[in-house]
Copies of this chain bind each other. A is one copy, B any other.
Amino acid sequence: MTQHQVLINGQWRDSLGNKTFQAVNPATRATVEGTYPVSPWPEIAEALEAAHAATVAMRGWSGKRFARFLDAYADAIESRADEIVAMANFETALPVEPRLKNGEMPRTVNQLRQAAEAARDGAWAMATIDTQTNIRSILGPIGPVAVFGPNNFPLAFNSIAGGDFAAAIAAGNPVIAKGHSSHPGTTRLFAEAAHEAAQATDMPAGFVQLIYRTSHDDGARLVSHRYIGATGYTGARHSGLVLKEAADRAGKPIYLELSSINPVCILPGALEERAEAIADEFTGSCLMGTGQFCTNPGIVVLLESEAARAFLKSVAEKFEAAPVGTLLSGGVEQHFRAGIVHLQRAGAHIVTGNQPVDSSRFCHANTLLEVSGDDFVGNAVPLQEEAFGNASMFVFAKDEEQLVQIVESFEGNLTGCIYSETSGSDDALYDKVAPALRERVGRLLNDKMPTGVAVSPAMNHGGPFPATGHPGFTAVGIPAAVRRFGMLQCYDNVRSHRLPPALQDANPTGTMWRYVDGAWTQGNVGS
């Protein structure tokens, strides 16, 4: 049996530990040949030492160095794209086409190249110069970043290739990647490419490192270690909160993406105008990736009416007619079923689905639930527990007042959508609903489902707790996501030749945007 290695301090090598795990093919429930190590603490401590040494070695490095790595890595991934996609499909059962090959893979390399561009350009660091006081500041590298990747995006959020990885590197930091146990082979292939790119671009040995799994205690030790600058975590709420507590206690920034049910409010005029189109959009969005998106629309709020009931019926029929996708793992299947049971116990009723479908793979029927507005408002906390998978719950408000009350009972979410009638007949109700929803979500959408998360400078893939740990940050979108991994470094009266180039009078690239004496400029100071 193949025993896979960890990547520590620039070397692929056998783990120091003797615990292992194996990947499972979700489409067959079959265990995959080859074991992956659970890294014991001494191995993690070595990774921390090596990452710290890398930080020291890279002090003062220009962003170009990191850009060169990111570009080389994107090229290396592209040259192995088919292999990586095939492995991701094998380990996650996400379809090769269009999902992995035409969606997530191009997004992943595009993200790395955008990060390279940001690193090369340098404007992400918001160089700020006050000539009157000769005080100058800039975001500098925060130090080694631990990245915990989620199960649901094996490529675009992979711990060693995804958004947090790209952002941490663009800010000039080494990364210790903790792969997700449900796709270790995919992560390993990425790490091979990352390691080759790091060697080809002369990066220090501890620049990119990979471990596959740790104990919970060691995870907490990792994120709170004195050598750690910050942590990026995307995954289940419970595990994330354990890491958050450890990191918070040590005063180490941790950026979390935990859970979100992404409410969709469909106002009466919109339903009257285009119920069928919305039902199609909703069904597509909700069942995409077998419902395993961070931004999956898990709750739909409607005003009680015949039209709303007809809409539910139409969606139910579409859910029944749609193929049942495969879930990412046995754990996801189990939690998904338990989540539906929790929602039922809290007062929700099954409209359709909620039965086993095919015991040869991990899956569960496309499931719709419903609950009255009265019940929702009376039991709002348990009724907002995420059932991660191909399910959604309809809430029927008895009147407009209750609809607003429902929205006001929402916890923090990544997204919130409002569908309204095109010519404005819903506008009065929109104006009641939108302000309450706005404060509870990172991204507010109109007439659009939330599952697309563009890599745009204006994107917010974030939101108030418990969607994330801080409502001021986004995990997607450059340059904002990069700034999470910077520390604010101020220079007061520092002699000019000792300043980082970005803070010297002459603009080092001739194009970098800097904030000089209260105005943004690409020019030199004094010009």
Contact = CB atoms under 8 A, between A and B. Distances in A.
Interface of A: 55-56, 59-60, 128-130, 132-133, 135-137, 139-140, 142-143, 244-245, 248-253, 412, 415, 430, 434-435, 438-439, 442-448, 454, 456-460, 462, 464-466, 469-474, 480, 483-484, 486-495, 498, 513, 515, 518-520
Nearest to A249: B245
B137 A460 contact: yes
A518 B513 CA distance: 10
A525 B434 CA distance: 24
A454 B135 contact: yes
B520 A456 contact: no
B137 A494 contact: no
Nearest to A520: B520
Given A253-B471, A473-B488, A483-B472, A495 B456 contact: no
Contacts of A133: 454, 456, 458
13 contacts: A56-B435, A128-B480, A135-B458, A139-B472, A245-B249, A251-B412, A251-B470, A253-B471, A444-B492, A445-B494, A458-B490, A459-B490, A471-B487
Contact of A244 (B129, B248, B466): B248
Given A59-B435, A487-B464, A489-B444, A135 B472 contact: no
B458 A494 contact: no
Tell which of A248, A458, A471, A493 has the most Cβ of chain B within 10 Å. Answer: A458
B128 A457 contact: yes
A492 B414 CA distance: 12
B444 A495 contact: no
A138 to B, nearest CB: 9
Nearest to A132: B456
Contact of A488 (B471, B488, B495): B471
A445 B143 contact: no
Contacts of A442: 488-490
A23 to B, nearest CB: 33
Nearest to A473: B488
A258 B364 CA distance: 51
A448 B251 contact: no
A402 to B, nearest CB: 18
Contacts of A60: 435
Contacts of A445: 492-494
A489 B462 CA distance: 9
Contact of A470 (B130, B253, B491): B253
A520 B458 CA distance: 13
A43 B464 CA distance: 26
Contacts of A474: 137, 488, 490
Contacts of A490: 442-444, 458-460, 474
Contacts of A136: 458
A409 to B, nearest CB: 11
A448 to B, nearest CB: 5
A492 to B, nearest CB: 4
Given A137-B474, A251-B470, 5 more contacts: A130-B456, A434-B498, A442-B488, A444-B490, A447-B493
A503 to B, nearest CB: 9
Tell which of A434, A466, A471 has the most Cβ of chain B within 10 Å. Answer: A471
Contacts of A253: 470-472
A462 B488 contact: yes
